Amino acid sequence: MRTFFKCVALAAILLGVACTGGTEGTDSQSASLGEVAKVAIAQRKAERTPAQLPSLTRPLLNSLGAPSLEIIAAKNGRTAYLIPLAERADDGTVVIWRTAAMGQVILRDGVLIGTKGLGRDLASADATPALTAVRGLSDSSGQRVMYFRNDVNGINQMSFACEVRNLGPETIEIVGQKFPTIHLQEDCSAASGQISNHYWIDRRDITVWKSRQWAGPEHGYFDIRLLKK
Amino acid sequence: MLRDIFRKTIFAAALATLGTAGAAQGIDDTPRFRMPVQPSLNLYGSPGLMDVPTAEALPDGQLAVSYSFFGGVSRSAMTFQFSPRISATFRYVGIQNWNSNGFDTYRDRNFDIRFLLRRETLYWPAITVGLQDFAGTGINAAEYVVATRTFDSPLSLPGTLRVTAGLGWGRLGTDGSIGSPLGNVRPSFDPNSKGGTLATDQWFRGPAAPFAGIEWQIDGRWALKAELSTDAYTPETSRGVFTRKSRFNFGAEYQHSPRLRLGAYWMYGAEFGLSVQFQINPAQAVTPLVVAGPRPIQPRPELTTSPDAWSEEWSRSASAPQSIRDALAPALEKEGLSLDQLSVSTNSAELRFINRRYASDAAAIGRAARVMAQQLPASVETFRLVVVENNLALSTIILRRSDLEALEFAPNSADALLAVAGFSEAAPDLPGAIYSADLYPSLAYSIGPYVTPSYFDPDSPIRADAGLSAEFRYRFAPGWLVAGEVQHRLVGNISDSRRFANSRLPKVRTDALRYAQAGDTTLRNLYISKQWKPRADTYARVSAGYLEAMFGGVSAEVLWKPVNSRLALGVEANYVRQRDFEQRLGFADYSAATGHVSAYYEFGGGYHGQLEAGRYLAGDVGGTATVTREFANGWRVGGFFTLTDVSAADFGEGSFDKGILLSIPVSWFIGQPSKRTVSTTIRPIQRDGGARLAVPGRLYEQVRHGHRSGIAADFGRVWE
């Protein structure tokens, strides 16, 4: 009852935030106005307190109990650290990486095949040319198809003609550790533009340590580093 | 309401900008989904220059809201691109310093319709035929055929040039006429006519005049416009509203954001003008929907390697259903779903659940299927999922667990799953099911602000009341609902109007002002209802109480809607009594028996039609036709009209009831899952003829989203 009166008082004062309770959402105008206001306040709060990024060192990574993946969105420079949520054998190895907020990035043998919880997500992808090249450390070509969620609960499809070239060996360094890799470049062209994905793959066990992969028109390129396997 | 939506949109747009601030802008040749060209609007709110139209169509589904002013003439307009070729406009105009026919300021409502005859091709221009103000008293009545051709980088200049030429009748044929090619007789504009009827006798009649113009879109921001207008503005200039000194108009426009465009103009060599144009598209959310990712489906172990995991022993235990329910229910709650009923057997399980979170039922079905895959023993292969809406089991979606396991990370996984999903009727009850222990009783409440707008009072075109609203919904048993809402007005000016009803019919709707003046604290509704399914494809509802602000009584409804059918049929009967102006518990003397038979049809592609025939609140008998364009995310724009045995003279201004329907989902603004929508009905004028009871909880709206076409349209979100 006290909550109820607090609600009334608060609503009366703010006249912008509704109080709602119960399992069932009501569809009244006040409930809708209240929901919009609540989200606005929460988003503003989140903007004011951006997450602090850790400074990466090899000892820090060694002390981690779980594998970790770093993703930097080239479009806005935002960085996220992800841990595996699940791993399964499904035409290679599919790993579902997740952020604290359950944003997800799905990699099949290191090749991006989906995102979740980011908005206008990559719903699924047929990345056969890249997978063939990564698995065989070889040149490859063929069709890539990417499926994106749209704002009307449907899927938009984007098809590419792709060519993957082996650019040769390259030694890369990730937080103080060196890896002997093969650098592959995947050039794809669609009707409305081009993309270039890059993969740095460990010569010894086909691990994709580093990559730059296009996640779609909404999110652009992701710079991905596997910090710990 | 519109102002309300506009304000919210601006607000949400500001949020979206915050969210993307700091985005690095660089040269980017990565692919994108091509956005259709969004033509600019004229001062009438249609694609055009200043006073003359152009031939381009807006992108499909586009909603354009605009305001313009020059020389004492103001126009507020809303245009909707109903289909790729057809658009409709509703406009409210005010002409200051009219000072005749009993008006200081002349105000009127117009409807336009445009049809794109030809799309622009390599050799052909776009060609459009349009009827402007085709039904009103005709202050802006005009018809036109217009062609527009686009030239990229004209004469090595930057940007795009659009050249337009056309032939206009009516208003657009009053200056520079070349004669009357299609007939001489055209009835003249009558400021005191009741309007509302189709003015077929004037379309394309009388003098016609050629008009022309150019628009140069210099870059992404700036555009210049020039036109030769054939509108002599005879009604205005003869009354001294403004002086027309030239046939030429010039303008500059600035695209502030993809949704907002501002314009300034020099009109007829005499007046400055301005416009604000706002365009939104249902397919482009203000904030894209973000749903926290789900737990992936964990495939069952191989039968050959782990035969124990596949044991069917569990199904012989009498307590198995309870323990499975107790494991499922909390896992479903985490996903915003509530378990209603569950039936499990060795190889199959049926889960009936309530979707409390997702606007898309497909998203709810996907989440529920994941929870089942996570919790159920390996031997359960067939999942039957039933979305339950207020005790109505809507449909059964049948998914094979092995399909879920195989397709989760497959290319085009949504279409692949839809191809193997089955849809069938859901029986009213699930035999042998165990029920959720804690669904009833349930109470939901909401306390918050409300705004009630009132439009088109000639003395003050926008009025509004605002205050606090408190509502509750109490469910004590399956299908039963007790609900009510109380409002307390804190501020407002609706009751300041002096325009009392002059209706010749029983005043079933035109006493709104008396209701507004009677008190600040009002009981909006308070009713009890029960709904259930008599058969697998039939739904029923009875309600009683204070059903809406002006009427109380009893209401009963039956709806037939098979899961895979485009057609639905309904019958509704009500006996109601008018409520006291105070809107407390009392009733007035007037009572009415009102009811309809309804046919609903989904044409496909988001086009829906509805026909109703029956007796309306004022005792008049007739029918209502409604057409809407809908989008799977919940956007809906439509129009309706009602014709009854009330004569145009008895009906009064407007001649018959008509209006515009608009629904926008809240999730489209906030980018988070929500089942709420913001809806409004805009009537050019509210009279008493053709008035329907606003009974809460009509069945069709509760039912159809959970049927095959509704779920299939949402299927892009099933794995989300």
The residue in chain A having the minimum alpha-carbon distance to the alpha carbon of residue B710 is: A153
Share of chain B above pLDDT 70, in %: 96
Interface test with A, best of B409, B442, B482, B715 (most A CBs within 10 A): B409
pLDDT digits (tens, 9 = 90+) for B240-267: 999 999 999 999 999 999 999 999 999 9
Chain B residues whose CB is inside 8 A of the A4 CB are: 445
For B124-149, letters b (16+ CB in 10 Å) and e give ebbbbbbbbbbbbbbbbbbbbbbbbe
pLDDT in tens, B279-290: 999 999 999 999
The answer to whether B95 touches B73, Cβ cutoff 8 Å, is yes
Same domain, A138 and A181: yes
- C-alpha angle A131/A134/A138, rounded to 5°? 110
Q: Which helix (H) or strand (E) holds B651?
A: helix B648-651
- Tally DSSP H helices, then E strands, for chain B: 11, 31
Q: Please, which pLDDT band fits residue A213 given cuts at 50, 70 and 90? A: very high
Q: B228-232, B417-421, B676-680: which has the minimum mean pLDDT?
A: B676-680
Sheet with A140-149, strands from edge to edge, namely A111-116, A104-108, A93-98, A79-89, A68-73, A221-228, A208-214, A193-202, A177-190, A155-174, A140-149, A122-126
Give residue-wise pLDDT tens across range A18-37. Answer: 677 776 766 666 777 777 77
Q: Which comes out higher in pLDDT, residue B600 or B154? A: B600
- Domain co-membership, A14 together with A81: no
Rounded distance, CA B711 to CA B720, Å?
14
Residue A148 in domain: yes
With the C-alpha atoms ordered B1, B2, B7, B13, is the resulting torsion angle positive or negative? positive
CB contact under 8 Å between A26 and B451, yes or no, is no
Domain B38-280: give its CATH architecture. Answer: Beta Barrel (2.40)
The domain ranges of chain B are 38-280, 307-439+710-717, 506-696
Nearest residue of chain B to residue A125 (CA atoms): B411
Strands A193-202 vs A208-214: parallel, antiparallel or unpaired? antiparallel
Greatest extent of chain A over all pairs of C-alpha atoms, in Å = 71
Q: What contacts 24+ positions apart, CB below 8 Å, involve A43-52? A: A43/B15, A43/B18, A43/B19, A44/B18, A47/B18, A47/B19
The Cβ-side half-sphere exposure at B689, using a 13 Å CA radius, reads 25
A34, A114: one domain = no
Is residue A188 assigned to a domain? yes
Q: For residue B290, give the nearest of A21, A22, A117 by CB distance.
A: A117
Residue A6 predicted with pLDDT over 70: no
Average pLDDT over residues B305-316: 91
Strands B126-132 and B106-118: antiparallel
Name which of A114, A151, A195 is nearest B633 (Cβ-Cβ). A151
User: How high is the pLDDT of residue B8?
Assistant: 39
| pLDDT classification of B39: cutoffs 50, 70, 90 | very high
Give the model confidence (pLDDT) of B354-399 as tens digits.
999 999 999 999 999 999 999 999 999 999 999 999 999 999 999 9
- Which has the closest alpha carbon to B412: A48, A154, A42? A154
**Same domain assignment for residues A37 and A6:** yes
Nearest Cα neighbor of B643 from B619, B617, B620 is B620
Q: A24 and A107, same structural domain? A: no
**Which residues on A lie below 8 Å from B29 (Cβ)?**
193-194
Are residue A10 and residue A95 in the same domain, yes or no? no
pLDDT for position A55: 84
Q: What is the pLDDT of residue B498?
A: 83
Q: Which of B362, B411, B448 sits opposite A30 (nearest CB)?
A: B448
The pair of three-digit structure tokens given for residue B176, joined into one six-digit string: 């520079």
* Closest residue of chain A to B295, computed from CA coordinates: A85
Q: Tell me the shortest Cα–Cα distance from B403 to chain A, in angstroms.
A: 13
Residues of B in contact with A147 (CB under 8 A): 411-414
Q: Between A and B, how many CB-CB pairs are < 8 A?
A: 258
The three-state secondary structure class of B133 is coil
Structural domain containing residue A41: 2-48
Residue with tokens 């929870």: B371
B282:A152 CB<8 A = yes
Please tell me the distance from the alpha carbon of residue B390 to that of residue B439, in angstroms, as a whole number.
11
With CB atoms and an 8 Å threshold, state whether A94 touches B632: no
Among A29, A74, A75, whose Cβ lies nearest the Cβ of B450? A29
Test mutation, A94, A152, A188, chain B, max B CBs within 10 A: A152
Overall average pLDDT of the B76-97 stretch: 95
A53 falls within a domain = no
To the nearest 10°, report the CA torsion of B22, B26, B32, B37.
90
- For the entire predicted model, the pTM comes to 0.91
State residue B185's pLDDT score.
Answer: 77
Closest CA–CA distance from residue B590 to any residue of chain A (Å) = 28
Q: Residue B414 and residue A18: Cβ atoms within 8 Å?
A: no
For the segment B431-452, the average pLDDT, to the nearest whole number, is 89
Q: Which long-range contacts (CB under 8 A, 24 or more apart) does A32-37 make?
A: A32/B666, A32/B676, A32/B677, A32/B678, A33/B8, A33/B448, A33/B449, A33/B450, A33/B451, A34/B446, A34/B448, A34/B449, A35/B666, A35/B670, A35/B674, A35/B676, A36/B8, A36/B11, A36/B12, A36/B666, A36/B669, A36/B670
Q: Which of B28-42, B120-134, B205-219 bottoms out in mean pLDDT, i.e. has the lowest? A: B28-42
Strands B460-475 vs B392-400: parallel, antiparallel or unpaired: unpaired
| Residue A37 and residue A19 share a domain | yes
Is the same domain home to A100 and A185?
yes
Whether residue A26 sits in one domain with residue A90: no
**Domain identity same for A120 and A102:** yes
> Residue A75: which of B23, B290, B469 has the nearest Cβ?
B23
Residue with tokens 């409930």: A31
Neighbour-count burial of B226, counting CB atoms closer than 10 A to its CB (0-12 exposed, 13-18 middle, 19+ buried)? middle
| Amino acid letter, B49 | L
Which of B471, B475, B716 is facing A26, going by the closest CB pair? B471
Domains B38-280 and B506-696 share a fold: yes
Q: For residues B543 and B555, is the Cβ–Cβ distance under 8 A?
A: yes
Report the pLDDT value the prediction gives residue B13, as an integer from 0 to 100. 37
Boundary residue ending a domain (A48, A66, A82) = A48
- Checking if the pLDDT of B65 tops 70, the result is yes
Percent of chain B surpassing pLDDT 90: 78
Question: Mean pLDDT of all residues in chain B?
Answer: 91
C-alpha to C-alpha distance for B202 and B136, rounded to whole angstroms: 12
For residue B576, give both structure tokens.
Answer: 């109601």
Per-residue pLDDT band for B459 (boundaries 50, 70, 90) equals confident
- CA dihedral for B324, B326, B330, B333, sign (positive or negative): positive
CATH 3.30.300 assigned to B307-439+710-717: yes
Is the CB of residue B633 less than 8 Å from the CB of residue B285? Answer: yes
Residue tagged 């903007």 (tokens): A47
The reply to whether A39 and A77 lie within a common domain is: no
**In three state form, how does the secondary structure of B383-417 look?**
EEEEEEECCEEEEEEEEEHHHHHHHCCCCCHHHHH
> Which residue in A8, A24, A45, A78 has the most chain B C-beta atoms within 10 A of its own C-beta, making it the best mutation to test that interface?
A24
Contact B473 A26 (CB under 8 A): yes
> Do A10 and A75 share a structural domain?
no
- Is B685's pLDDT higher than 70? yes
Between B26 and A43, whose confidence is greater? A43
Please write the tens of the pLDDT for every residue from B599-621: 999 999 999 999 999 999 999 99
pLDDT at residue A11 is higher than 60:
no
**3-state SS string over B266-315?**
EECCCEEEEEEEEEECCCCCCCCCCCCCCCCCCCCCCCCCCHHHHCCHHH
Instruction: Kindly determine whether residue B444 and residue A25, on different chains, have CB atoms separated by under 8 Å.
Output: yes
Asked if residue A100 belongs to a domain, the reply is yes
What pLDDT score was predicted for residue B15? 31
Contact criterion met (CB < 8 Å) for A155 and B414: yes
| Domain B506-696 in CATH 3.30.1450 | no
Tell me B105's DSSP state: S
Q: Which of B24, B288, B408 shows the shortest C-beta gap to A218? A: B288
What residues pair up with B214 in beta bridges, in sequence order? B163, B226
The domain total for chain A is 2
